[in-house]
Amino acid sequence: MESINMVKGYDKVNSTPADIPPPHLHHSKLAATHRRKTALISLLILFSLLVVTTISVVIYKSTTSHKSKTKTNSTTAPPPPPPQSNSLNTSESTRLVCAVTQYPNSCVSSISSLKNLPPQLGPQLIFTLSLNISLSELKNVSSFPKTLISKSNEANTVSALRDCVSLFDDAVSQLNNSVALFDGSEKEALTEAKIADVNTWISGAMSDQETCLDGLEEMESSVLDEVKAKLQKSKECMSNSLAILANMHSLLDKFGQT
Ligand X SMILES: *[C@@H]1O[C@H](CO)[C@@H](O)[C@H](O)[C@H]1NC(C)=O
Q: Which residues bind ligand X (CB under 6 A)?
A: 73-74, 76, 89, 91-92, 125, 128-129, 132, 136-137, 140, 172-173, 176, 179-180, 183-184
Q: How far is the CB of 2 from ligand X (least distance, A)?
A: 58
Q: How far is the CB of 66 from ligand X (least distance, A)?
A: 12
Q: How far is the CB of 173 from ligand X (least distance, A)?
A: 4
**231 in Cβ contact with 213 (< 8 Å):** yes
- Residue (42 or 63) nearer to ligand X, CB: 63
Q: What share of the chain is helix, strand, coil (3-state, %, to 5)?
A: 80, 0, 20
Torsion angles phi and psi, residue 216, rounded to 5: -65, -40
- Residue (16 or 116) nearer to ligand X, CB: 116
Name the closest residue to ligand X (Cβ): 184
- Residue (74 or 150) nearer to ligand X, CB: 74
Q: How far is the CB of 37 from ligand X (least distance, A)?
A: 55
Count the alpha carbons within 13 Å of 126 in the hemisphere toward its beta carbon.
35
**123 in Cβ contact with 248 (< 8 Å):** yes
Q: How far apart are CA 166 and CA 170, in angstroms?
A: 6
- Residue (38 or 65) nearer to ligand X, CB: 65
**202 in Cβ contact with 171 (< 8 Å):** no
Inter-CA distances, 10 with 40, 66, 86, Å: 18, 54, 72
Nearest Cα residue to 236 out of 104, 113, 123, 126:
104
Q: How far is the CB of 121 from ligand X (least distance, A)?
A: 9
- Residue (180 or 193) nearer to ligand X, CB: 180
